[in-house]
Amino acid sequence: MRPPKTQARAADVAAMHEPEHQLVQAIYRLYEQREAASGGHRAHLGASVIGHACERYLWLLFRWAGREAFDGRMLRLFEAGRQFEARVVAEMREVGVEVSEVDEFGRQHRVSAHGGHFGGSLDGAVLGLPEAPQTWHVVEFKTHNAKSFGELVSHGVAKAKPMHHDQMQVYMGLTGMDRALYLAENKDSSALYQERVHADPVRFAQIMARAERVINAAEPPLRISNDPAWWQCKLCAFHGLCHGEQVPEVNCRTCAHSTPRVDGDGGRWVCEHEHVDLDAATQRDGCNGHRFIPALLERVAEPVEYRPEQDGNAAVVYRLPNGSTFANGYPPAFSSREIRVAKHKAMLGDEDVQAVKAQIRTAEVVA
């Protein structure tokens, strides 16, 4: 017996208006919330990224100019890679390989250099591989999709995944081990690929010199290409910062006053204006004395003047493409946060806007 048409129509309407995939979206949001709670930025320049093709990308990453934003689906995918690691460690132990994942304090093995500003965490070290049972190896676990896995099998890790190869060179160089095991899984078929990698002292020295250059650079290095349509630039998370008019995040690392110091091993940062050390929380928050490193605004405006201001903290005057000027400084100049949030940067040079700022010292640009 058919239900009355009115009942059928009511059911159809209810189905049409029911929000879809609520559980899925809730799970994705869970991963996004976890990522937000972590603070977002890594304190050091990581061994996992040092092989990136562009030094400017590395500098922007190290200086917290921006961050790669991943949605919940991608963050969940990264978690799947960590689950593979736990699974394969158990399998290796069951076939007789010794795996060391943590140090004597129960912490993941870490290496660092350049005053703690460069380093990374090892997946582990292994002893007892059938190919070399007496030799300790750095071990690196990675997962790949089918296409990436095929390239890895065909060409080897150095050619197919040079960033992974450089990562292992760092770990070998800083631990003193001269062998590494690269163990990868095809996420589509669960097939495994292994490759033993030898330490390359020349490449290690090149990588360490590159890390030192990035850490010590006061301004962004040259772009990999000045063409915004260049394929590597188009795919880069920092395309807007590098080739567009996106303004960097406001924190101590994008401030002209901050300097990384390589004394000690704690990744020390110093505010040259206040003459104080900056802990991680302070670096993230920044302060009202923030002045952008001028080169970070080069796509927005040209620095033309430095004006002494309150407490000896200079204001930086910029000229916009339309010829008008604005200052990055204390009121009535614009704070760094105002410059970042201003949707249309030309408004910063508008005489009426500047007049309001002068008359109402607490007035702020909010969009």
For the stretch 343-364, pLDDT in tens is 999 999 999 999 999 999 888 8
> Of 114, 113, 167, 107, whose CA–CA distance to 138 is shortest?
167
Is 229 a member of any domain?
Answer: no
* pLDDT computed for residue 264 by the predictor: 87
Q: Does 177 share its domain with 326?
A: no
- The stretch 119-133 carries a mean pLDDT of 97
Per-residue model confidence as pLDDT tens digits over 300-326:
999 999 998 777 788 999 999 999 999
Tokens of residue 35, six digits: 């990522």
Alpha-helix residue ranges (DSSP H) falling in 20-62: 22-37, 55-62
- The stretch 105-125 carries a mean pLDDT of 96
Is 203 a member of any domain?
Answer: yes
Q: Does 165 share its domain with 255?
A: no
Rounded distance, CA 360 to CA 358, Å?
A: 6
CATH number of the CATH domain containing 131: 3.90.320.10
Q: Does 311 share its domain with 196?
A: no
Which structural domain range is residue 281 located in?
249-359
Q: Does 118 share its domain with 175?
A: yes
Is 313 a member of any domain?
Answer: yes
Per the model's pLDDT, the better-predicted residue between 40 and 294 turns out to be 294
* pLDDT computed for residue 12 by the predictor: 56
Q: Does 164 share its domain with 76?
A: yes
Q: Does 185 share its domain with 67?
A: yes
- The stretch 171-193 carries a mean pLDDT of 97
Rounded distance, CA 207 to CA 132, Å?
A: 27
Q: Does 253 share its domain with 212?
A: no
> Of 277, 262, 204, 238, whose CA–CA distance to 51 is shortest?
204
Is 239 a member of any domain?
Answer: no
Q: Does 267 share its domain with 168?
A: no
Quote the mean pLDDT of the chain. Answer: 92
Number of domains, the chain: 2
Model confidence at 10, pLDDT cuts 50, 70, 90, reads low
Rounded distance, CA 4 to CA 145, Å?
A: 51
Q: Does 187 share its domain with 58?
A: yes
Contact by Cβ (8 Å): 232, 57: no
Is 204 a member of any domain?
Answer: yes
| pTM of the complete model beyond 0.85 | yes
Give kind and range of the element (H or E) at residue 82: helix 72-94
Q: Does 172 share its domain with 312?
A: no
- The stretch 71-77 carries a mean pLDDT of 89
Lowest mean pLDDT among 36-40, 151-155, 170-174, 222-226: 36-40
Q: Does 79 share its domain with 186?
A: yes
Is 11 a member of any domain?
Answer: no
Q: Does 203 share its domain with 288?
A: no
Bridge partners (DSSP) of residue 184 are: 142, 193
Is 169 a member of any domain?
Answer: yes
* pLDDT computed for residue 80 by the predictor: 83
Is 242 a member of any domain?
Answer: no
* pLDDT computed for residue 50 by the predictor: 98
User: Helix, strand or coil for residue 35?
Assistant: helix
Cβ neighbours, 10 Å, residue 27: 13
**Which residue, of 174, 201, 216, is where some domain finishes?**
216
Rounded distance, CA 28 to CA 97, Å?
A: 36
